[in-house]
Structure formats: structure tokens, C-alpha cells
Amino acid sequence: MEAFMREKLTPNTIRGYAREVANVSVPEERAAEIAPEVEALNSAVLDTAARLDLNDEPGQFPLALARNRYLRGKTR
């Protein structure tokens, strides 16, 4: 089972989040570079979380992320 975010991240979403949460100004070009990376990270975390049980040890999450990466055939 693979989990996905409801909406695709846009550079404007990245810029708005950076401005509102971190009080940082991110140029449009950099936000466009960051958006796909954040989307891939969010997808991996959501997919891994869906495979875990509420009672699983929280310290096992990094191992579960690595295992899920292997199952998805990712090399980076």
C-alpha cells in the first residue's frame, strides 16, 4: 500500500510554509527545486507510517523507513 499526499506541492506552498512557519523568504526558483524533494520525503514517510501499527516502538521508524526504501527499490 502506498500513501500519497492529497495535493501536489507547489513552489508557492513551499514559499508560504517557509514564510509562515520559519519566517524565511525562499526564492521562487529554489522553492521549485525543493518542492519535489519534500513531496518525495512526505510520500516515503506516509507510506512507511501506513505499514506500522500504533503499538510499534517509535524507535523502529528509521529502520522501517530504510526497509520501505528497499522494498520500493530506491537507491538514494
What are 14-54's pLDDT values in tens digits? 999 999 999 999 999 999 999 999 988 888 888 888 888 88
| Averaged pLDDT for residues 51-65 | 82
pLDDT at 1: 47
pLDDT at 75: 54
- Neighbour tally for 68: CB within 10 Å: 19
Query: DSSP per residue over the chain, as a string?
Result: -----SS---HHHHHHHIIIII-----HHHHHHHHHHHHHHHHHHHHHHHHS-TTS-GGGHHHHHHHHHHHTT---
Domain ranges (residues) in the chain: 11-71
pLDDT at 4: 53
